[in-house]
Amino acid sequence: MAEERRDRRRDNRNPRESRYGRKREEPEPKPWVPKTKIGKLVKEGKEKDIDKVIKEYKILEPEIIDNLIEVKSDLLSIGQSKGKFGGGKRRVWRQTQRKTAEGNVPTFACLSVVGDENGHVGMGYGKAKETPPAREKSLRNAKLNVFAVKRGCASFDCSCNEFHSIPMKVEGKCGSVRIILIPAPQGTGLVIGDECKKILRLAGIKDIYSKRFGQSRTTINYAKACIDALKKLK
Ligand SMILES: [Zn+2]
């Protein structure tokens, strides 16, 4: 029992390598058995158009997205480090605590973004008592929330027909955070906060200007406002 517990702790510390530096064997991933109608269609290869699937069906299995697009993911820094020297450094995990008679019970949460860098993006939140399951849950939720982003070029000093920016000026909101996304000419880059940069990069947008108002250091609201704005492009 004690042995097993020690093993598990070692797993948490370094999932890829054992203590002796050897690569440990990854557990075989189970084959996907689809449960929903659209899941079966995708597995059989009868449905290949991601836009059609997103538009016509409600996605309840994250594997559908895995099969349709090449998923890339990123974690947003929603938390801060604890402990010495004041803490407060930006971290991917948001650590919160519940007080009980036995002591404090920590909970970890994280916010991940998935996308194919070609007009599809999704964001999901997940929390658990440990960090790896929190990440898995958030990834799963992010895949279920994938939507299509309408891209285009509408900047006043760029008249190409490529999908490098957005077709119009949009505004998004979450909590007190308000964000305005403005089309930009080619070569501008992403003129926006770091966390939203991750979202737009995964969505496949290369050039943008932005403005933000409110308590935008609340990263969760900042990211949600960005997603809200992207959804309004439709
Ligand atoms: Zn352009």
Structure tokens at 95: 């650590």
| Plot region of 144 (φ>0 → left; ψ -120 to 50 → alpha; else → beta) | alpha
Residue 60 CA to ligand 1 centre (angstroms): 36
Ligand 1 center to residue 208 CA distance, Å?
Answer: 11
Q: How far does residue 164's CA lie from ligand 1's centre (Å)?
A: 6
Q: What's the CA-to-centroid distance between 168 and ligand 1, angstroms?
A: 12
pLDDT at 123: 95
Amino acid in position 63: E
Rounded distance from Cα 63 to ligand 1 centre (Å): 34
22-31, pLDDT tens digit by residue? Answer: 556 667 778 8
CA of 183 to the centre of ligand 1 (A): 9
- Give the model's pLDDT for residue 47: 82
- Cα-based distances in Å from 79 to 4, 14, 30, 91, 216: 31, 21, 32, 5, 14
Segments of the chain with pLDDT less than 50? 1
**CA 166–ligand 1 middle distance (angstroms):** 9
Token pair in block for residue 58: 């409600």
Cα of 203 to ligand 1 centre, how many Å?
17
Tens digits of residue pLDDT in 43-100: 888 888 888 888 888 889 999 998 898 999 999 999 888 877 777 788 899 999 999 9
Please tell me the predicted confidence (pLDDT) of residue 225: 96
Q: At what angle do helices 219-231 and 194-203 cross, to 10 degrees?
A: 30
CA-wise closest residue to 129 among 95, 103, 100, 99: 95
Domains of the chain in sequence order: 35-68 (no CATH), 72-147 (3.30.160.20), 170-231 (3.30.230.10)
Q: Given this model, what pLDDT does residue 13 score?
A: 53
154 Cα: distance to centroid of ligand 1 (angstroms): 7
Pairing of strands 94-99, 90-91: unpaired
pLDDT at 1: 46
- In angstroms, what is the span from residue 204 Cα to ligand 1's centroid? 14
pLDDT of residue 125: 96
CA of 55 to the centre of ligand 1 (A): 27
Cβ < 5 A residues, ion ligand 1 = 153, 158, 160
